[in-house]
Amino acid sequence: MIAIFHKKAESSTRYSQRGATLIEVLISLLLITIGLLGIAASQITSLKMTLSSYQRSQATVFANDIADRLRANIKEAEEPDSKYLSAMPNGVDHGTDCVSYTGALTSNCSIEKMAEQDVFDWAQRLRNEFNGEGIICRDNSPNDGTAAAASGCDNLAASPLVIKVWWDDDRDPNTDNFLFSTSLQL
């Protein structure tokens, strides 16, 4: 009798030891899962920040692009009623009169038409390559505005020339677009 009782007690201990091991394994799996989810979340955050910083550098490239175009057509850019300002926000497509980057301009391309074409080309590229929009205007407080149609530009003759570029940083149409603005030294 004693021997049998002893055997039963031993078996019960072994069983409870196996149970504890299973719980330990489950807890370990849970901890590993939580850890992996944490790593995944930080990876996603890091990817978002990388994309955000890439888009910001793209906005700078687009701003530099139109700044270079204004410098190349400085006589028109410096006019008080420059077409760079009045043709906003989408410019005017002058067909082949002022084809950019492809050799000599035709005699039909005036500096005013060139400005309108520059703005047109710029707006197209911003929309197609960046899903964004931009404006050239005069503004003494350039860090405002939510879109080309609500640019926050004061358009006063004494205000500096600025370039503003907006884009949807978080791909959420319900949040404001990001703005990059820079004042323009001609």
| Binding residues for Ca ion (CB under 5 A) | 139, 141, 144, 152, 168, 170, 172, 175
Smaller CB separation from Ca ion, 97 or 144: 144
Smaller CB separation from Ca ion, 98 or 145: 145
Q: How far is the CB of 170 from Ca ion (least distance, A)?
A: 5
The separation between the first and the last C-alpha atoms of the chain, rounded to the nearest angstrom, is: 105
Count other Cβ atoms within 10 Å, centred on residue 138: 19
Q: How far is the CB of 176 from Ca ion (least distance, A)?
A: 6
Q: How far is the CB of 157 from Ca ion (least distance, A)?
A: 15
Smaller CB separation from Ca ion, 118 or 169: 169
Smaller CB separation from Ca ion, 146 or 175: 175
Q: How far is the CB of 147 from Ca ion (least distance, A)?
A: 11
Q: How far is the CB of 140 from Ca ion (least distance, A)?
A: 7
Per residue, what are the HEC states of the chain?
CHHHHHHHHHHHHHHHHHHHHHHHHHHHHHHHHHHHHHHHHHHHHHHHHHHHHHHHHHHHHHHHHHHHHHHHCHHHHCCCCCHHHHCCCCCCCCCCCCCCCCCCCCCCCCHHHHHHHHHHHHHHHHHHHHCEEEEEEECCCCCCCCECCECCCCCCCCCCEEEEEEECCCCCCCCCCEEEEEECCC
Smaller CB separation from Ca ion, 124 or 140: 140
